[in-house]
Structure 1
Amino acid sequence: MGLALSLPVLATTPLDTHLEAQQAQAALQERIDAADDESRAMLEELRRLEGETRRLRLENQRLAPGLETRAERLDRREAALEALADTRQALPELQQALIERLAAWVDADLPFLVEQRRGRVEALRASLTDPDLDDAERLERILAAWRAELDYGREMDAWRGTLDAGEARREVDFLRLGRVGLYYLTPDGRQGGVWLAEPGRWDALDDAQRRQVRQGLRMARDQRAPELLRLPVSQPLEDDA
């Protein structure tokens, strides 16, 4: 008669199966919940970025005109700086040309206050080599001299000075009507003349013209009310036709 051995047999009961299913379901739910949390976080971040994008777009639209204006200003400033560099390079030559043109104008103009005006030109020439002056100061002096010359054309002036007539020198009263007429009258009123620019000489005035010069002298010295003067002119009158 043989022996019979009894071994334990492991069997899966319905309860064990149910527990495993619950655990698997719980693990799956955790993964789903984690995925949902991550999705919600990504969705919130997406909404935040969309809001930031809209805000930046509106801000850009608001700032765009000002940025365009600033860009235009920068372009103009860059162009101005380039032009300034070119101007600074050409400035010494320009200053020299302005002085020489002024000197030529004085030499060709009516002969009034000649020493004073030529002295002004020589002072400008000396300023070109003055190390204590910068370009701005030199240019300002040149422009001031030009303004003074231009003002002569709008002024009525009278002064006493010396008339050089050949070898003779005499003290006379000068009358200048802008750049139209230059006249002189001796203190006794017996002699007078008008400068004729074209031939470059003085021409004698008659009695009536000398009386007109005397009136003009009084007007220039604020001793008489302004009135019309009938005098020959120094500069030739040109017909526009």
Structure 2
Amino acid sequence: MKQGRLRRSRRLSVVMLLMGACTLALAQTEVREESIEAQREQAELQEKIDAADEATREALRKLRAAEREADRLKAYNAELAPLVERQADTIAQREQALNTLSETREAMPVLMRDMVDRLRQWVETDLPFLQEERLARVDELENMLANAEMSASDKLDRLLGAWRTELDYGREMDAWQGQLAGAENREVDYLRLGRVGWYYVAPDGSEGGVWKSRANQWQPLNDDQLAEVRKGLRIAREQRAPELLALPTSIEVTAAGSQSGGAS
């Protein structure tokens, strides 16, 4: 009887030991699983922290880049400010010019007509050298003004060109051959010194004259003056080096309140 109870007690102990071992094994398994889960959660948290750090670093990098760009734009704007101001002034001036453009266009025909009339008056009262040629140029300008197909700018260019030609006459020394003014079928050599002296000499050099504006006629030259005219002809034709010429003038020269009929 006692032996039977002893065997049952042993079996009960073995069962309890087995149950304890199973419980311990289950507990260890749960601990391992919880540890693995904790490690996984820790890894996920670390990944989130790393991602947040990278995003922060990227945002900081973009912020610094934006600050550098803002500084560059600020310096660029400061450099452009004077240019913008000058351009604004230019635009204002052009706007003002545009506002007066219609008035200028309306006044242009009257202005060009006045310039042609004044040019004709100048040629008619000037020394009469090449007068037919110069008056023909003025006639062409008058015909041009009546040409409706030509633009105002082209007309003004030609008109200014004619004025420049007349102005150049006053700065030039010129020599040419032609018919003697006031005589027919008489070829002479002409010498012109700007607008102050106009002379002629016969081809054989025997006689010559100076045009006198006040008398509106030729005045004879003496031998010394003829020699000076021949010298001037060679200078104008680039056959002799330039030098001073002692010749009477075609116009009255006033100096210090006195008048003189000659000049060098």
Does the alignment reach a TM-score above 0.5?
yes
Question: Paired residue for 2:106?
Answer: 89
Matches of residues 163-202 of structure 1 in structure 2 within 5 Å?
163-165=180-182, 168-202=184-218
The letter of the residue matching 1:225 is A
Aligned match of 1:157 in 157, 174, 183? 174
In the alignment, the residues of structure 1 paired with residue 173 and residue 215 of structure 2 have an alpha-carbon distance, to the nearest angstrom, of 24
Question: Paired residue for 1:214?
Answer: 230
Gaps of 5+ in 1: 1-54
> What do the CA deviations read for 1:70-108 (whole angstroms, capped 9, x no partner)?
433332111111232221110000000111111011001
In the alignment, the residues of structure 2 paired with residue 224 and residue 155 of structure 1 have an alpha-carbon distance, to the nearest angstrom, of 16
Q: CA RMSD in A?
A: 2.6
Moved segments of 4+, more than 6 Å: none
Secondary structure at the aligned position of 1:164 is classed as coil
1:137 and 2:137 matched: no
Q: Which has the higher helix share?
A: 2
Question: Paired residue for 1:106?
Answer: 123
In the alignment, the residues of structure 1 paired with residue 182 and residue 132 of structure 2 have an alpha-carbon distance, to the nearest angstrom, of 17
Question: Paired residue for 1:126?
Answer: 143
Would the alpha carbon gap of residues 201 and 79 (structure 1) be closer, same or farther in structure 2, given more than 3 Å must change? same
> What do the CA deviations read for 1:172-215 (whole angstroms, capped 9, x no partner)?
11100111100000111111000111221110101111111111
Matches of residues 6-85 of structure 1 in structure 2 within 5 Å?
62=78, 68-85=85-102
> What do the CA deviations read for 1:6-62 (whole angstroms, capped 9, x no partner)?
xxxxxxxxxxxxxxxxxxxxxxxxxxxxxxxxxxxxxxxxxxxxxxxxx8xx79x85
| Alignment: residue pair count | 189
In the alignment, the residues of structure 2 paired with residue 73 and residue 150 of structure 1 have an alpha-carbon distance, to the nearest angstrom, of 33
In the alignment, the residues of structure 1 paired with residue 178 and residue 110 of structure 2 have an alpha-carbon distance, to the nearest angstrom, of 37
The letter of the residue matching 1:111 is P
Would the alpha carbon gap of residues 181 and 64 (structure 1) be closer, same or farther in structure 2, given more than 3 Å must change? closer
Secondary structure at the aligned position of 2:248 is classed as coil
Identity of aligned residues (%): 49
Gaps of 5+ in 2: 1-69, 258-264
Secondary structure at the aligned position of 1:173 is classed as strand
> What do the CA deviations read for 1:128-177 (whole angstroms, capped 9, x no partner)?
111331000000000000000111111110111111336x5411111001
Question: Paired residue for 2:10?
Answer: none
Secondary structure at the aligned position of 1:110 is classed as coil
In the alignment, the residues of structure 1 paired with residue 97 and residue 148 of structure 2 have an alpha-carbon distance, to the nearest angstrom, of 27
Question: Paired residue for 1:230?
Answer: 246
In the alignment, the residues of structure 2 paired with residue 188 and residue 117 of structure 1 have an alpha-carbon distance, to the nearest angstrom, of 29
Secondary structure at the aligned position of 1:85 is classed as helix
